[in-house]
Amino acid sequence: MRLSRHFTLAEAMASNKARERGIDNTPPEALIPRLAFVAETILERVRAHYGIPIVYDGGLSWYRCDALNRAIGGAPTSQHVKGEAVDIEVRGIPNIELARFVRDHLDFDQLILENWNGRDPSSGWVHVSAVAGRKMRGEVLTYRNGVKSRGLP
């Protein structure tokens, strides 16, 4: 099932961890429009800008059912569980640059540059959420070594 031109439901629910643990990471039907909104407003735009597929170590980290979220130690209120967030990387693009692109060009709810260390451009990843039907916060954060700070480095 296709969520947008280039992104599928299979990608939204793919997770090595879920497979390892035998967790069924199929989202409830009601969340599919949210996943499609993220695909349309975030993933398609990032893909169109860089002209290459989005990668994340063998799969996007996108939807997480409760069991999967617990298994990876995610925050209970994580937007991944609500189908509103995705973690992205684009091969060859430093994650700080990707984060700046999202900040400057896309409409989003929350953007977090996670575990980027400044020495290795490919370190960490970029967490982005988008929500249909309510005002998006446009919040920008950096999260590193367990510490959250405002803005990007």
Q: Per CB under 5 A, does 109 bind Zn ion?
A: no
Task: Return the number of the residue (51 or 101) whose C-beta is nearest Zn ion.
Answer: 101
**In the complex, least distance from residue 36 CB atom to Zn ion, rounded to whole angstroms:** 18
Q: How far apart are CA 10 and CA 106, in angstroms?
A: 24
Q: Per CB under 5 A, does 64 bind Zn ion?
A: no
Task: Return the number of the residue (36 or 38) whose C-beta is nearest Zn ion.
Answer: 38
Give the closest residue to 12 by CA, choosing from 21, 30, 25: 25
Task: Return the number of the residue (11 or 87) whose C-beta is nearest Zn ion.
Answer: 87
**In the complex, least distance from residue 72 CB atom to Zn ion, rounded to whole angstroms:** 10
Task: Return the number of the residue (23 or 124) whose C-beta is nearest Zn ion.
Answer: 124
> What CA–CA distances, in Å, run from 108 to 80, 84, 86, 102, 132?
14, 10, 11, 8, 10
**In the complex, least distance from residue 79 CB atom to Zn ion, rounded to whole angstroms:** 7
Q: Count of residues binding Zn ion (CB under 5 A)?
A: 2
What phi and psi, each to the nearest 5 degrees, are found at residue 36?
-65, -35
Q: Per CB under 5 A, does 127 bind Zn ion?
A: yes
Q: How far apart are CA 95 and CA 34, in angstroms?
A: 24
Interface of this chain with Zn ion, residues 78 to 107, rule: CB under 5 A: 87
Fill in the DSSP letter of residue 31: G
**In the complex, least distance from residue 87 CB atom to Zn ion, rounded to whole angstroms:** 4
Q: How far apart are CA 126 and CA 141, in angstroms?
A: 10
Contact set with Zn ion (CB under 5 A)? 87, 127
